[in-house]
Each structure stands twice: as C-alpha cells, then as structure tokens.
Amino acid sequence: MPATTSPQTDAPAFDAEAFRADFPALQQDIYEDTPLVYLDNAATSQKPTAVIDRLDHFYRHENSNVHRGVHRLSQEATDEYESARQSLTEFINAQREEEVIFTRGTTEGLNLIASTFGEMTVSEDDEILLTEMEHHSNIVPWQMLAERVGAEIRVLPVNDRGELEMNRLDEFLTDDTALVAVTHVSNTLGTINPIEALIDAAHAVDVPVVVDGAQSAPHLPVDVQALDADFFVFSGHKMFGPTGIGILYGKHEHLEAMPPYHGGGDMIDEVSFDGTTYDAPPHKFEAGTPNIADVIGLGTAAEYMMDLDWTAVQAHEDDVLSYATEKVGAIDGLRLIGTAAAKTSVLSFVFDDIHPYDAGTFLDRLGIAVRTGHHCTQPLVKRYGLPGTIRASFAAYNTRQDVDRLVEGIQNVKSMLG
C-alpha cells in the first residue's frame, strides 16, 4: 500500500478473519442457506463498517454544500472534504494536495486527461501508445481523441503468459509517440506491469505517461513521486471506498497548463459575459457540487487502508493467490489464463468444454460470486481466442477457505455441465 506507511515490524501477522468481520456484506447468506463467497473484487470491493458509518454520519450530521457557505455546517463539510484530499495525497504520496482531483472514477479521470491534456499534447500524425491488455476505459477515450486530432493508436502486445512484450518496446515507442497510457495491473489477467521501466523509457524520449491504477491502488504500494507518472487515476470503490468517486493525480505543472474539463460553479476565478478566468487546480477540475459524502467516505477508506500493516496484507494476498493458482490450476479440463511471473489477486480461467456464462451462473447459485465474460477487455480476450473467462478476484478479506469453496464449486460445475 502507500509507501508512506512503513512496515510495522512489531505488528502481528495479518488476521484475515478479524479483518473480514469489518465487512457486513460478507456476513450474509445468498440463496437460502448458502453463505456468500465474494470473489468479484476486481469489479468492486465490499465496504467496511468504518466507511459505511462515515457516509451515514455525514448525511445525519454534516450534510451541507462545500466551498460556498459561510455557515458552520458548510464550513465543517468543506473541512472534511479537503481533509479527505489530504488523506488521498498521503495515500499516493503526491507532492501536494493540489495534485489530487476528485473524479467519478477511473473512467472519468481518463476521459478528462484525454479531453484536456490529450488535446494539448497529441496532434495530427502523432501516435498514442496503449497496450493489448487495456480496459475499455483506457482505450476508448484515446480512440476518440485520436479520431478528433487525426492521430494513430499503437498497441504494445502481450505474450501468451499475459506479460507485456517489453523487448519490443523500441518498435512501438517511436519519434511519433506523443503519449503513453498503460494499466498498472491487468483486471483480466492480474499481471503487474513493469510500470517503472515503461515510464523511464517514455520519459527518456520526453513522452508523458498516464497510468490506469484502478487495479493496483487496492493491492500495491502507490507512490506517484517514486513512479514519476505524469498522471495516475483510480477508483474508490475497488479499494473499500464508495462508488462514483475516484482520483485523478496529475503533476502540478500539467494541471496548471491544462484547460478545464467541465465548466460551472466552483471552478472559476471570475465570470463575466465577456469572458471567464479559472480557479487554480484542483478546483479548476471540480466544477459543480461535488460528490461530497463519497469524497469523505473515500478519505475514510484511504485512512482505513493506511492503518493496515500492508507488508502482512500483501503476504496474505499473495498466499491466497498462490493457493488458488495451485488448487484451481490442478483441476482437469481447466486452463488458467494469465500466468505472468508478477501477478496480484486475479485468477482467470476457462474450461475446455463449458461456456464461462454457464459456469458463472452455476457458481453463483452455489453462493460464489465471480465475474464471467470479457471484463471490458475485448481486444485482450480475443487475443487469446476466447469467448470470455471466469475471473475470481481476491481482496484482503478473502481466505484459503474461500478458495476451497471455489474449487468445490468448480467440481460441481464440472459434474453438472462437463
């Protein structure tokens, strides 16, 4: 997790069962007497009581608009809102709070960058470098930009294991490359990309890099200064926070140079019918009444994560993933998709003779929540010649027992559908 959290060597090993008790949604039965095994964390994580209570408290006691009111409640809401920005600044180790913009999530962050920084940076005949494992949200905004300005999209391929073909980077990072946009961790394969190497290579030829951190912020240390990423975007709801809220980190020099994305209240310096001047970052990019409660809830989620001993958490997550890889990978008639050397928290697989949707439907009926399909990475899934995969994705509250339930579920699916 955040690099600012130093390992607490005197802390006890991570107690996943105790941690799990923090999450009310995990304590329920699905379909009568079938306890829920939630393995769809790459889509969204469950929320701890601390975050749920924080939202409840805001609406019961603090609800007010921010940045405008002179009354006490509005001042308190504004303080809480800006205090959440401080927490997120610490969470990603940004240099300054002004570099942290609240967005609706990763998708909005990427669209914002494409529409503002992208428009400034990418011109006709330029190239935008993506990778074959990108989520649609890190493909489509760039395609839209490329179409608008007459640029070309280049795609760095992945190998059969699901790793980027870094040895071919020279072929793709050319004199025409104007921007690189790459995911930190693949939502479909779990691959952790060598993001530092990519950023270094791009910066060596003066190309800025946008990092999609949707799948890394919940599992890996994120230190935007150490990474030297130009932009880093992620969503709150995958890291125990509320839905509809996320972060766009941008280097201050970029944010200052960028035009606003949306126009409206709270982003202006002065408005007249002759013209308008804009506020400084971050407010330049936060037009209108923001998602106040969820910003505050996300601040709580970031604090909650920073309170954990992440050395122990990561050891636990690695253990669950290796256990799952071993147990699920040993099942006959089933193939793991994505076997990169560096992986986190995602196990994608397919059966030789069972459609992922059939498998997913039966697993659901057995209480096991997995995702099936292309996971909004159609080009990647097509690259493997598949109709989709079955994806079990883990969070810190998942245990080896959850994996055992998944394996038992898969055996049932095989006997029913195989």
Partner 1 sequence: MPGTDTVSDRAQEIVDEFSLFSDWMGRYEYLIELGDDIPLLPDEHKTDDNYVHGCQSDVWIHAEYDDENSVLHFQGDSNAKITKGLAALVIRVLNEQPPEAVANASFDFLDDIGLQDNLSSQRNNGLQAMIEQMQERAKTFRN
Catalytically annotated residues: 376
Residues near 387 by beta carbon (within 8 Å), at least 6 away in sequence: 355, 356, 381
Min. distance of Cβ 361 from partner 1 in angstroms? 5
Task: Please report whether residue 361 would count as binding partner 1 according to CB under 8 A.
Answer: yes
Binding partner 1 (rule: CB under 8 A), the pick from 373, 379, 383, 400 is 373
Tell which one of 387, 401, 408, 411 touches partner 1 (CB under 8 A): 387
Between vectors from CA 317 to CA 348 and to CA 368, what angle results, nearest 5°? Answer: 50
Determine contact, residues 109/117, Cβ cutoff 8 Å: no
3-state helix, strand, coil in the chain (%, to 5): 45, 20, 40
Strand (E) or helix (H) holding 249: strand 246-250
- The Cα 90–Cα 97 span in angstroms is 9
Q: How far apart are the first and last CA of the chain?
A: 41
**Residue from the set 268, 364, 378, 386 that interacts with partner 1 by CB under 8 A:** 364
Figure out which of the listed residues 53, 357, 401, 411 binds partner 1, where binding follows CB under 8 A.
357
285 lines the binding site for partner 1 (CB under 8 A): no
Shortest Å distance, C-beta 409 to partner 1: 13
Size of the site for partner 1 (CB under 8 A): 16
Of 144, 169, 306, 417, the one binding partner 1 (CB under 8 A) is 417
The CB-of-351 to partner 1 minimum distance in angstroms stands at 12
- Binding segment for partner 1 (CB under 8 A), chosen from 140-148, 259-267, 317-325, 362-370, is 362-370
If DSSP states are collapsed to H, E and C, what string results for 170-225? HHHCCCCEEEEEEECECCCCCEECCHHHHHHHHHHCCCCEEEECCCCCCCCCCCHH
Under the binding rule (CB under 8 A), the answer on residue 362 touching partner 1 is: yes
Q: Which stretch binds partner 1 (CB under 8 A): 162-170, 197-205, 319-327, 365-373?
A: 365-373
Q: Report the C-alpha gap between 235 and 213 in whole angstroms.
A: 8
| Residue 372 binding partner 1, by CB under 8 A | yes
Q: How far is the CB of 389 from partner 1 (least distance, A)?
A: 12
316's tokens: 């636990």
**Which CB atom, from 297 or from 360, has the smaller least distance to partner 1?**
360
351 binds partner 1 (CB under 8 A): no
Q: What is the CA radius of gyration of the chain?
A: 22
**Exactly one of 57, 327, 355, 383 binds partner 1 (CB under 8 A); which one?**
355
- Told to check if 30 binds partner 1 by CB under 8 A, we report no
CB-wise, 167 or 415, nearer to partner 1?
415
Nearest to 284 by CA among 298, 301, 268: 268
- Return the ∠ at Cα 295 (arms to 285 and 37), rounded to 5°: 125
Q: Which residues bind partner 1 (CB under 8 A)?
A: 31, 354-355, 357-358, 360-362, 364-365, 372-373, 387-388, 416-417
